[in-house]
Amino acid sequence: MRVGLFGGTFDPIHTGHLVVAMLAKEALNLDKVYFIPAGVPPHKRDKRITEGIHRYRMVQLAIQGYDEYEVLDWELKQNQPSYTVDTLSWYCRTHPSHDPFFIMGADMLLDLPNWQKADRVIELTDIIAVTRPGFNQAMSEQYLRLLPASWRKHIHFVDMPGLEISSTWLRERLDQGLSVAHLVPDRVICYIKENRLYG
């Protein structure tokens, strides 16, 4: 089994996330992609984040009907902040025969060396870095040069057409009472309304 592990806050999940998962799956020939909503990610501890159960339910609704996607609540069940290395260690321990790939936006790549036990992360998984708008081939190469040489063969860039959608922008729109139609799956929009999330 080749699996993608896609960590994020998903506050809320949006079309950009879904296209990332689809393109990563296709490019690396993955059997499954697991969405892993973060408990309270270490770099967002100071901000307000929607309760984990809501973010989990929104992912569930967004991937409903797609057998190749699943959502894992492991990070949400931890009481302490989860570092990617902890999640990957847990996953590899519990699924020893799987071949995992960690999926992230290429914008996060330069930060990777600062991650908790980054070397261990690269030992446990390969990385799929999906490009965000403004990111080109030359930048991929430049990014790779800034990372330790031994990591390079473990990093796979996947091109994505510019979909400059971020949860931050969506929260701002929702705060202002603006529509997020087509940016967020319909079922998720209903859930947001029913539960009066954001704004």
CB of 117 to ligand ATP, least distance (A): 18
CA distance 117 to 42: 14
| Half-sphere exposure of residue 100: CA atoms within 13 angstroms, side-chain side | 25
Neighbouring residues of 193: CB distance < 8 A, sequence distance ≥ 6: none
- Report the run of H or E that residue 173 belongs to, with start and end: helix 167-175
CB of 171 to ligand ATP, least distance (A): 7
CB of 96 to ligand ATP, least distance (A): 26
In terms of CB distance, is 49 or 92 closer to ligand ATP? 49
CB of 14 to ligand ATP, least distance (A): 6
In terms of CB distance, is 81 or 105 closer to ligand ATP? 105
The position carrying tokens 């390079």 is 152
In terms of CB distance, is 149 or 176 closer to ligand ATP? 176
Beta-bridge partners for 71: 35
In terms of CB distance, is 74 or 149 closer to ligand ATP? 74
In terms of CB distance, is 149 or 181 closer to ligand ATP? 181
CB of 40 to ligand ATP, least distance (A): 13
CA distances from 38 to 3, 96, 108, 131, 179 (A): 18, 22, 15, 21, 26
Q: Give the CA radius of gyration of the chain.
A: 16
Record the tokens describing residue 125, joined without a space.
């998984």
- Return phi, psi of residue 29, to 5°: 55, 50
Q: Which residues of this chain interact with ligand ATP, rule CB under 6 A? A: 8-11, 16-17, 20, 104-105, 107-108, 130, 132, 160, 163, 165-168
Query: Which residue number has the CB closest to ligand ATP?
Result: 105
The amino acid sitting at 177 is: G
CA distance 54 to 39: 12
In terms of CB distance, is 20 or 189 closer to ligand ATP? 20
CB of 163 to ligand ATP, least distance (A): 5
